[in-house]
Amino acid sequence: MSEENINGCTGDCGSCGANCPSREPESLIEPTGEYNNIKHVIGVVSGKGGVGKSMVSSMLSVLMKRRGYNVGLLDSDITGPSIPKTFGINSRAMQNEIGILPAVTKGGIELMSVNLMLEDRESPVIWRGPVIAGAVKQFWHDVVWGDLDYLFIDCPPGTGDVPLTVFQSIPLDGIIIVTSPQDLVSLIVKKAYNMAKMMDIPVLGIVENMSYVKCPDCGKEFNIFGSGSETIAEELGVPLLGKMPIDMSLAQMVDNGEFERFECDYLDGAADALEKRFGK
Ligand code: ADP
């Protein structure tokens, strides 16, 4: 009699709930809706809020759209959604018999955010973790994204409940970590990196935001928060995909809902890297 049979193992994990070491871990990945064909899903994450994760998700979405790809942007930052405002979208999401319809920006990017579902945009979303996580899964499954080359997911900051749900239930092809050049934040970068690694999600690289300020008179660049992303990227063995300065014109375009008008090339290298890795 084999050892398996002595222990009562039939070799059929599907009909047995025993938690033995040889058991394959169950995937928690959820399929997207039947009307969706999404080729590449990229998560944009940060160790903490306010470092420009939404700015980077939005800029990458616009850059890839300008390069001719079909692009969607899922704002999974449920308690601090800022994407619709960035693109000047004030409408509420509509629904038809097959699902929830995303808003479409002037440039043709499909958007979904909890702000499109709220009657009063200024009301806070006072939901507990599991409800928020459920809303993110619903955006992945129930929104009629259709055919997309790239879906960017603006993840909630940190390594808590909701980012964990995104990592576990959405089949991410990779994540981009956004950081600002401060030591303390860099420690949190490592946490975000380790979380992705533990869940076998490729880390595509790091974007350093608020890297420097350029003097409008003399053009000199000042690294007011110091620098350190090169070191972190090297330490983690991932590319530094780009550096964005503090650029008041970008902040103004966000505030005016006219973000698609930007003309800078700060993240062209990051868009090149995506195109090189994933293509169409
Ligand atoms: P997060 O998504 O990480 O919370 P946001 O992208 O919402 O951060 O950025 C926080 C604020 O900082 C926003 O008002 C945004 O417009 C502004 N901001 C972000 N990056 C820059 C930048 N490079 N230059 C100027 N303002 C920026």
Burial 33-56 (b: 16+ CB within 10 A, else e): beebebebbbbbbbbbeebbbbbb
Answer whether 155 contacts ligand 1 (Cβ < 6 A): no
Query: In angstroms, rounded to a whole number, what is the distance separating the alpha carbons of residues 220 and 113?
Result: 38
Minimum mean pLDDT range among 150-154, 222-226, 250-254: 222-226
- Helices (runs of H) and strands (runs of E) counted in the chain: 9, 12
Burial class (CB in 10 A: 0-12, 13-18, 19+), 123: exposed
21 pLDDT exceeds 90?
no
- pLDDT for the residue numbered 3: 46
Among 46, 56, 74, 254, residue to substitute to test ligand 1 (most atoms within 8 Å of Cβ)? 254
Residue with tokens 């749900």: 165
In tens, the pLDDT along 97-118 reads 999 999 999 999 999 998 888 7
Answer whether 85 contacts ligand 1 (Cβ < 6 A): no
- Distance between Cα 52 and ligand 1 center (Å): 4
Residue with tokens 């890795």: 277
Minimum mean pLDDT range among 76-85, 91-100, 118-127: 118-127
Answer whether 250 contacts ligand 1 (Cβ < 6 A): yes
Query: In angstroms, rounded to a whole number, what is the distance separating the alpha carbons of residues 230 and 240?
Result: 7
Label residue 162 by pLDDT band (50, 70, 90): confident
Question: Residue range 200-228: average pLDDT?
Answer: 87
- pLDDT for the residue numbered 222: 85
Question: Residue range 189-208: average pLDDT?
Answer: 92
Minimum mean pLDDT range among 23-32, 53-62, 73-82, 145-154: 23-32
